[in-house]
């Protein structure tokens, strides 16, 4: 994995998100170039998940925002002979409906005579207030991928690993450095199951092509970064 592979894979991420109808917009700043805001960084370390998520949304700490207001972050840096990587997915923890769904419900509930097209953006303020009043989902999660040599301890802290959940010690070892696209496909499969299932059933060739493309830039860890003991435990290969 080098910076060229990384940037190519980031471009593939946008294309892939659009193919699953999950893409809303690119972030207004590159997390890889500018990093996250101090507010988000502090919240992600010391606050609960909802606070961290809301700070990320508030300060535009994302590379890609999805239709449901979940978001992705991607960071890559190379120091001497090793690569430091952080990919993260923050799922919207708040019950979410689109503006279109909100309008449809308002028209039905209040017997509004105007059509959705006629209403246009007139109810956006009410819609945003509605979103602010929604309760938390019963289930939500964050997924993060790290490539971190500085804290490497075989069987305790693998160089390459996945985190599932917020502020815990769930750390799943991987014997290679993965691409941004691999991370995104993994996330779609496990978080957006219905979209993934439909795509597998309707266009399996697309899935196969995306999975194959995602392996570009994949880097198998050398023996000094992957201990033989780690191959005995359960890990992602």
Q: What is the pLDDT of residue 80?
A: 73
Which 8-state DSSP code applies to residue 152?
-
Q: What is the pLDDT of residue 130?
A: 64
pLDDT tens track for 44-102? 888 889 889 989 988 999 999 999 999 999 999 887 777 889 999 999 998 776 667 67
Mean pLDDT by 10 residues, the chain (237 residues): 89 96 93 91 90 90 94 89 89 78 70 72 70 70 91 91 89 94 96 95 95 91 90 90
Helix (H) or strand (E) holding 78: strand 71-79
* DSSP letter for each residue of 102-145: HHHHHHHHHT--S-HHHHTTTTHHHHHHHHHTPPBPS---EEEE
Cβ atoms of residues 63 and 72 within 8 Å: yes
């Amino acid at each position: 994995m080098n910076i060229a592979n990384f940037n190519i894979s980031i471009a593939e991420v946008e294309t892939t998100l659009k193919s699953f109808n999950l893409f809303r917009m690119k972030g207004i700043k590159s997390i890889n170039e500018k990093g996250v805001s101090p507010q988000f960084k502090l919240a992600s370390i010391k606050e609960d998940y909802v606070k961290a998520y809301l700070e990320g949304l508030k300060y535009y700490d994302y590379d890609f925002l999805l239709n449901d207001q979940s978001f992705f972050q991607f960071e890559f840096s190379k120091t001497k002979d090793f690569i430091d990587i952080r990919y993260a997915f923050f799922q919207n923890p708040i019950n979410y409906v689109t503006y279109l769904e909100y309008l449809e419900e308002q028209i039905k509930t209040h017997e509004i005579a105007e059509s959705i097209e006629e209403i246009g953006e007139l109810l956006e303020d009410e819609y945003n207030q509605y979103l602010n009043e929604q309760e938390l989902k019963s289930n939500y999660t964050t997924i993060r991928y790290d490539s971190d040599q500085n804290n490497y301890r075989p069987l305790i802290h693998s160089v390459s690993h996945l985190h599932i959940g917020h502020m815990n010690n769930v750390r799943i070892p991987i014997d290679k450095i993965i691409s941004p696209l691999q991370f995104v496909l993994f996330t779609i499969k496990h978080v957006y199951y219905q979209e993934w299932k439909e795509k597998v059933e309707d266009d399996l060739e697309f899935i196969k092509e995306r999975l194959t493309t995602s392996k570009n830039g994949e880097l198998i860890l050398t023996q000094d970064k992957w201990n033989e003991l780690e191959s005995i435990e359960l890990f992602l290969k």
